[in-house]
Each structure stands twice: as structure tokens, then as C-alpha cells.
Amino acid sequence: MNDKLEYELNEDIQAVAPIEEPARQEYFMNKCHEIIEQFIIDNGRAPGFHVATFGCQMNAHDSEKLVGILEKIGYKEVEDEDKADFVIFNTCTVRENANQKLYGHLGSLKKRKQSNKDMLIGICGCMMQQPETVDVIRNKYAFVDMVFGTFNFYKLAELLYKRLSGSERQIIEVLAKPELNVENLPERRKYSFKSGVNIMYGCNNFCTYCIVPYVRGRERSRTPEDILCETRRLVSDGCVEIMLLGQNVNSYGINFLEESEIIKENPDYDFPDLLEDVCRIDGLKRVRFMTSHPKDLSDKLIDVIARNPKVARHIHLPVQSGSSSILKAMNRRYTKEDYMALVDKIRAKLPDVSLTTDIMVGFPGETDEDIQDTIDVIKYAKYDQAFTFIYSIRTGTPAAKMEQTDPKLVNERFNRVLEVVRDSCTEVSGRFEGETKEVLVECLNDHMEGYVTGRMDNNILVHFPGDESLIGSFVNVKLNEAKGFYYMGESIKNQ
Ligand code: 5AD
Ligand code: SF4
């Protein structure tokens, strides 16, 4: 780095060091903006960015903030990764094949970067929380411009400024644990009428197969004040549907990030209380939440859902396995019988609820009998949708040290489970055929001209004739034909 620049950069950073973090980041957004203005003068166009997001709703929501920051700086979003001047990969590491996919992507971007000197590549998200992966990027993909993690993604502008104004070719900044919680960043929502709201970060459950607690840290809950304030702001901004997000929303409130008057007054304040408070917000029409760990789903929560029509009749309740001995080895802390009893309890109070789940096949030591238990539960629980995964070994988790099962056997069992899932979910999710349901319209249909696509409160997709003007509104739709995982319908607005 030339001395003058280094001096200026240090001075910049020192000058803003004592400022609160959001203001500090705003400062760097402005500094980047100045550089981008010069790019626009030189090139006659704004630079394009593309954020490729992998993994869960949390990552999708983090990406909305990355997009917000980049737009504030002056970048313009481009759909096509190949046309972007700045490509960011927001990675997931829940399953192993994601790493190979990322390296493949980087390999193909290398050539483009050689022919476009202004092109930048950034990688962030859960995969970057693993030091071995960061070492691979450092050693084999030195052309990647910046690497950051889940605990400091709010620093995008600062890292970008460092890269653009300095001479360091590769900026790597990953924190091992959270240091600051920074909210109220600029964000650009994918949909103007619905949004996710983080209610907590991290996970304390340490399921023995899962990497999440290691890459997202221990559980931290936002205060009810903070969550309610953000939700009110979103509603006044036009959101009619909110999804409360956490790895295990049912343990909300164990460890708050800040002091809270509401908690001081009511130290037992929990997720059902929060859900009920969110439902009280005028103008908000539909509330979802994700994800529920079966061990923590309380009677109180079921009662709150039952008496609040705003809460979507949908519970995502990952079972993972139907076998009590596998569940024990997974450290899930419920048995097959506990899970089935919970399903009964939910259905007794919420007869029209849709249950969805995650299922894993191939956990170490799993036998044919265990698979039969899983199949029993699939048939018993009557899921509308089930996401099936082949167990993937994650270095550093307890299950990685257990004796692994022959992949051939796992594949055969996976296909068997998949077939049961397909049959069962098709039958169950088609049960509303002929009924009329309220649908929140999301977009124009990609494949059928003159059609729009929306979701019922149970999260199932419906396609029906309509135009752009319906996007963001609730429409009563007659479900004419169940097509497996979606419906074809018609609006009954004027009939
Ligand atoms: N291998 C395969 N699937 C996994 N999941 C979590 N960890 C693993 C793993 N190591 C699945 C679980 C979880 C979903 C988000 O991803 O089913 O519920
Ligand atoms: Fe992973 Fe289990 Fe936490 Fe879910 S509850 S994020 S599966 S450790």
C-alpha cells in the first residue's frame, strides 16, 4: 500500500472508531459511494452486483441487507451473475457438497476476473466460519477479493472500502464469535409486501450432525421492543405478512442481547407472548414463524395460534428421524412417541393446520428398522411437505466421529423414504381441492402468461388467472385442481 493511502485509510478508520457501529458503517457506505461515482463517470454506467444466496431463510434475510448496503453505495443489481462487476456468495455449510459447488463457481469466475480488472468477488456466510475453508480460499483462490463471516456481514461497506482504497489484494475478516449486534442496516426486501424479521440468532441445541451452532454461535434473542419496533416499521412500509425467524423460535428469550423494559416487567416473556404481541399490530394480516424444535413447542404456543387468526396455519416441525434410538444419538431430546403425541395435540387444537418437516436419512448407525420408524411417522403425521436430506458428514460435529453407513445402502433407503414422502404429501396437500382459500399474491407466473402465483397461509402455492395489479394483495381463490405440491385455481373476487 502506498504510504499516503495507508495514512489516509488509517486516519479515516481512526476518525470514525469512536462512533456507534451503524454510523461507522454509514460513513464507509458514503466513502464507497464516492469511489463508485468515479466509476460511473469513467464508465458511463453504474457497476452491477449479484448476490448468490444459498441455504436457509436466515441467509436469505442477511442477503437482503447486503443488497441494501450495495444499493446505497451505488451498485445496481443484475440478475445475471456473468454480467456483474461484484459477485457475492452468501454461503451455507449445512451439507458438504455446498463447498464443492462454491469452488466450481469460483473456478469459472477466475477467467472473467482476469479479463475485467474492476471485477470483485466476495464470499460470506456460514461456510466462511470454518477456518479450513478460509485457508482453501486464501491458498487456492487468491483472486477472491474479500471474505467475511456471519458475525460481521454488516461490515460489507468497510471491507469494500478497504479493498477499493488500499493495496491489499485479499481482505479476510472473520470473527470467531459475535462481538456486536448491528440492526437497522439498509435492506432491500425481495418482496415489498412481506418480510422476515430475525427474533434471535444462533442455536444452543447441538444436534450431533449439525454445524449451525458452530457457525452461527450460541442463542441470542433480540428484545421484544426491538422486534415489535422493526415489525411496526415494516407494516407502515406496506408489509402485510411477517415471518419471525430463528433456528429454534420456541426457545426465544433465554438470552437477550440488550436490556428490555418488557422483560423486566415480565421475566417469563416467551415466544408465544411475542407472537401474540406481533399479532396486535394493526395492518399486519399474516404472521409466520420458522423453525420450531419439537422438544420446545409448548401448549401455550398452540393456544396462541388457535386464538389468533393472523397466525398462519402452518408449523414446520422437523422430525429428522422417526426412530427413538436415532433421535437419541442425534441429541434431539424427544422420542418417536413424544413427536406423535405432539402431532396429536397440535391437530386437536388446530384441525386445519399444515405440518411440514425435515427428514434425514443415513445418520450413522441407522438400520432398516429405524427407516421403518421414519416411514411410520411420515404416514402418521400427514405432512403437506417434507424436505428429505441424505446425512452429510460435517467435520467437528460429534456424528462425524461415529461409524458411518455404507453410502449405497443410504441411497437405497433414501429413495424408499422419498417415495413414501411423495405419495403421502401428494395425497395430504391435495385435501383442499374444491375449497376457497385466501391467497397472498407474490408474482406473475413465470410459465403461464396471464397467471399469477401466490401462497395460502399453509404455505402451499396456488396459480390462477390474474395480473400484476394483484401482487401484494389477498385474493379469495377457489382451488380447482390439486397438482401435487401446488393448486390451480380461480379468483372468486367478483362472484
Ligand atoms: N446432513 C444432512 N442434512 C442436515 N441438516 C442439518 N444438518 C445436516 C447434515 N449434517 C438438515 C436438517 C435440518 C435442515 C435445515 O438441514 O434436516 O433440519
Ligand atoms: Fe442444527 Fe439442531 Fe440447531 Fe436445528 S436445532 S440449527 S438442526 S443444532
pLDDT by residue (tens digit) across 11-40? 454 444 456 888 889 999 999 999 999 999
Confidence of residue 184 (pLDDT cuts 50, 70, 90): confident
| pLDDT reported for residue 20 | 82
Ligand 2 center to residue 205 CA distance, Å? 6
C-alpha 239/C-alpha 231 separation (Å) is 9
Q: Which atom of ligand 2 is nearest to the CA of 94?
A: 1
Q: Whose CA is nearest to atom 12 of ligand 1?
A: 358
Amino acid, single-letter form, for residue 296: D
Amino acid at site 67: V
Whole-number Å distance, alpha carbon 94 to ligand 1 midpoint, is 6
Q: What is the signed CA dihedral for 337, 340, 342, 345, rounded to 10 degrees?
A: -120
pLDDT greater at residue 16 or residue 94? 94
Distance between Cα 248 and ligand 2 center (Å): 7
Region 114-131: mean pLDDT is 93
* Angle of CA points 290, 257, 301, to nearest 5°: 35
Whether 248 lines ligand 2, by a CB cut-off of 6 Å, is yes
- The reply to whether ligand 1 has any atom less than 6 angstroms from the CB of 153 is no
**CB 444 within 8 Å of CB 468:** yes
Across 234-263, average pLDDT: 95
Q: Which one of the ligands is nearest to 293 CA? A: 2
Atom of ligand 1 nearest to the CA of 211: 7
Average pLDDT on 243-254 reads: 95
Q: Where are the beta strands (DSSP E) in 373-485?
A: 385-390, 436-444, 451-455, 461-465, 474-482
The closest alpha carbon to 384, from 437, 430, 429, 346, belongs to 429
Closest atom of ligand 1 to CA, residue 320: 17
Secondary structure (DSSP) of 352-396? T-EEEEEEEE--TT--HHHHHHHHHHHHHHT-SEEEEEE----TT
Residue among 327, 330, 389 whose CB has most ligand 1 atoms within 8 A, to mutate? 389
Given a cut of 90, whether residue 333 has pLDDT beyond it is yes
The pLDDT value given to residue 183:
81
Ligand nearest to the CA of 294: 2
What is the residue type of 424? S
Task: Convert the pLDDT of each residue in 361-420 to its tens digit.
Answer: 999 999 999 999 999 999 999 999 999 999 999 999 999 999 999 999 999 999 999 999
Spatial distance between the Cα atoms of 293 and 291, rounded to a whole number of angstroms:
7
The CB of 362 under 6 Å from ligand 1? The reply is no
Rounded average pLDDT over 97-116 = 89
User: CA geometry: angle at 291 spanning 236 and 313, to 5°?
Assistant: 70
pLDDT in tens, 54-72: 998 899 999 999 999 999 9
Ligand 1 nearest atom to the CA of residue 399, by list position: 10
Indicate whether 439 pLDDT > 80: yes
Say yes or no: CB of residue 426 within 6 Å of ligand 1.
Answer: no
**167: confidence class by pLDDT, cuts 50, 70, 90:** confident
DSSP H or E stretch at residue 63 = helix 57-73
**Hey, what's the cell of 135?**
485457508
- Tell me the C-alpha to C-alpha distance, in Å, between residue 79 and each of 48, 69, 85, 87, 137: 9, 17, 12, 11, 25
- Are the beta carbons of 186 and 65 closer than 8 angstroms? yes
**Ligand 2 contact, 206 CB (< 6 A):** yes
pLDDT band at residue 99, thresholds of 50, 70 and 90? Answer: confident
**End-to-end alpha-carbon separation of the chain, Å?**
71
Q: What is the average pLDDT value for the chain, to the nearest integer? A: 93
Contact 375, 383 (CB under 8 A): no
Cα 377 to Cα 431: distance, rounded to the nearest angstrom: 19
Calculate how far, in angstroms, residue 389's C-alpha sits from the geometric centre of ligand 1: 7
pTM, 2 dp: 0.91
Predicted confidence (pLDDT) at residue 9 exceeds the cutoff of 50: no
Mapped onto helix, strand or coil, the DSSP state of residue 269 is coil
The atom of ligand 2 lying closest to the CA of 206 is: 8
Q: Residue holding cell 393448486?
A: 487
Please check the confidence at residue 83 and state whether its pLDDT lies above 50.
Answer: yes
Q: Tens of pLDDT along 457-486?
A: 989 999 999 999 999 999 999 999 999 889
How far CA 312 is from CA of 76, 162, 349, 383, 462, in Å, comes to 35, 44, 14, 16, 16
**Cα angle 241-495-478, degrees, rounded to a multiple of 5:** 55
pLDDT of amino acid 331: 98
Q: Of 210, 216, 326, 360, which is best to mutate to test ligand 2, by the most ligand atoms within 8 angstroms of its C-beta?
A: 210
pLDDT of residue 19: 63
Of the residues 58, 130, 209, which should be mutated to test ligand 1's pocket, given the most ligand atoms within 8 Å of the CB? 209
Residue 161 has pLDDT above 70, yes or no: yes
**Residues 6 or more apart from 260 whose CB is under 8 A from it?**
223, 224, 225
Mean pLDDT of 134-151: 96
Instruction: Return the ligand 2 atom nearest residue 248 CA.
Output: 5
User: Grid coordinates in use for 21?
Assistant: 457501529
Rounded CA-CA distance 37/291 in Å is: 42
Q: How far apart are CA 228 and CA 197, in angstroms?
A: 10
pLDDT of res. 166: 84
Closest CA to ligand 2's atom 2: 207
Ligand 2 centroid to Cα of residue 328, in Å, is 14
For residues 239 and 28, what is the distance between their CA atoms, to the nearest angstrom? Answer: 29
Q: Whose CA is nearest to atom 2 of ligand 1?
A: 391
Average pLDDT, integer, range 356-363:
98
CB 442 within 8 A of CB 423: no
Cα 289 from Cα 317, distance rounded (Å): 11
Distance CA 34, CA 36 (A): 5
Nearest CA to ligand 2 atom 1: 210
Atom of ligand 1 minimally distant from the CA of 392: 1
**Does 426 sit behind a cis peptide bond, omega within 30 degrees of 0 on the bond before it?**
no
